[in-house]
């Protein structure tokens, strides 16, 4: 599903962000990507969605080498990956429903499909009945759930969550991870970037640790 084969990324002045990274995340896995600031996590994510290009190596998404795809194919690649950010990145002048269905309108989904997918996504994240609220009427945890629903609504096979609970209290953070686990249980591959050691250790999922651009640990039932 996601595979890095001998991937290195060097920036100017010989700054090495990733150094010969080899890792494979299977379809339906739940994995954490951890490491200190500057370890290469952000570069890893940017390479997956072709915001950056590797200096060397191959990156396979769904068994396709994305380092060889054309510029016009990048939007189709990104439809396979739902992204959840720490700062939510919601449109605050639009309702919950409008935020969630934005991507469906972009791909010109039918009204029927939009209605069906919105209902399903709202139920999945526990926000049924709040589709007409605006983000500033919601708690931080609810706003993150909107961001999750937005990532889910196009049914991507992969969801990347980049510090999804960094701005949330511990109880709300636990609820967000329970939702991510539920999404994962339905077959979606989940990759979570986080510094939340307590959550990583409690969930006992795969842990891929980066440091200075190298994978220093990759354990199926790892701790942080």
Percent of the chain residues past pLDDT 70, beyond the cut:
100
- Global pTM? 0.93
pLDDT tens-digit profile of 132-144?
Answer: 999 999 999 999 9
The whole-number pLDDT of residue 178 equals 93
pLDDT tens-digit profile of 6-28?
Answer: 999 999 988 999 999 999 999 99
Q: Which is the CATH superfamily of the domain at 28-55+77-219?
A: P-loop containing nucleotide triphosphate hydrolases (3.40.50.300)
At residue 159, what are phi and psi to the nearest 5 degrees?
-125, 130
The whole-number pLDDT of residue 196 equals 86
Segments making up each domain of the chain, as ranges: 28-55+77-219
**Chain centre distance of CA 186:** 16
List strand residue ranges (DSSP E) for the chain, in order. Answer: 2-11, 15-25, 30-34, 56-61, 64-65, 81-85, 158-162, 189-193, 206-211, 214-219
pLDDT tens-digit profile of 19-72?
Answer: 999 999 999 999 999 999 999 999 999 999 999 999 999 999 999 999 999 999
The whole-number pLDDT of residue 223 equals 76
Phi-psi region of 161 (alpha: psi -120 to 50; beta: other; left: phi over 0): beta
- Quickly tell me which residue has 């980066």 as its tokens: 210
């Amino acid at each position: 599903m996601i595979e890095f084969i001998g991937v290195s990324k060097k920036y100017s002045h010989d700054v090495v962000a990733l150094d010969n990274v080899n890792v494979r995340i299977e379809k339906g896995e739940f994995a954490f990507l951890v490491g200190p600031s500057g370890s290469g996590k952000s570069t890893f994510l940017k390479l997956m969605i072709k915001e950056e290009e590797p200096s060397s190596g191959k990156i396979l998404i769904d068994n396709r080498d994305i380092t060889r795809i054309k510029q016009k194919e990048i939007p189709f690649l990104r439809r396979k990956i739902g992204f959840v950010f720490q700062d939510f990145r919601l449109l605050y002048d639009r309702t919950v429903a409008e935020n969630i269905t934005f991507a469906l309108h972009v791909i010109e989904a039918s009204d029927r499909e939009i209605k069906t997918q919105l209902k399903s996504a709202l139920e999945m994240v526990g926000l049924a009945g709040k589709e007409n609220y605006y983000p500033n009427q919601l708690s931080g945890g609810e706003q993150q759930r909107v961001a999750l629903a937005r990532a889910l609504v196009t049914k991507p096979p992969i969801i990347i969550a980049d510090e999804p609970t960094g701005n949330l209290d511990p109880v709300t953070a636990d609820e967000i991870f329970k939702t991510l686990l539920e999404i994962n249980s339905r077959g979606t591959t989940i990759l979570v970037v986080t510094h939340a050691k307590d959550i990583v250790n409690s969930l006992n999922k795969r842990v891929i640790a980066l440091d200075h651009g190298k994978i220093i640990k990759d354990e199926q039932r790892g701790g942080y």
